Amino acid sequence: MDFKDRHVVVTGGTGALGSAVVETLLAAGAHCHVPWMAEAELKRFTQRDNARVTLVQVPTLSDEAAVAALYGAVPNLWASIHLVGGFAMAGVADTAKAALVQQIDMNFVTCFLCCGAAVRAMTRHKAGRIVNVAARPALEWRAGAGMAAYAASKAAVAALTVALAEEVAKDGILVNAVAPSIMDTHANREAMPSADYASWPKVEEVAATIAYLASPENRVTRGTIATVYGRT
């Protein structure tokens, strides 16, 4: 994959999956624009001093003005990859409206606003790639039992992806998403110490799929929710 001189926004780029995506893109020659909110994640982000990484502090990506400012500073945007989000494990009876709205805000609203800003930037040169991140429960609804607010917010991301792919294909913009199962991260290992880690997809493997969908080499794939489940 050749991303030489191409500018890519990676939201959630300082997280576990995001770091792997940024490293993959940098190895292919990209210039990555990475918004950040959490100081602790920024300190762990190994590419923070890379000359082809532009770090942008943002208060939230569920605010239109903040998103507009982020994308307005990116020259000739080629791809936009939307990884930022959040997870909450709770049954419906134990989920207050505030917690539901938080999941929708973190997972769906951020994705929707970034998609809109990316499309506005990409239509100027009639080309681009957008990659969103859904989740296994977004496609397999029964798997969302005990985390319905999260599953519903990610299902909205999946629906947005397919609808937007149809909407902007005429503009040379290909929109896709990946739907991971539980990924092999430090946080997930800590949360599930007795799980079979070997069956979980590695963040580098998921990053490779994302990078391909965002690359110029992807010339025809759109409206796809690529399942990246590993052996789980």
Beta strand ranges found along the chain (DSSP E): 7-11, 31-36, 53-57, 77-82, 128-133, 173-180, 225-228
Q: What is the dihedral of CA 189, 194, 196, 198, to 10 degrees?
A: 50
d(CA 141, CA 136): 8
**Which of the following is catalytic: 71, 150, 197, 212?**
150
Cα–Cα nearest to 5, from 72, 52, 73, 56: 52
150 has catalytic annotation: yes
Rounded Cα distance, 96 and 89, in Å? 12
Enumerate the active-site residues: 150
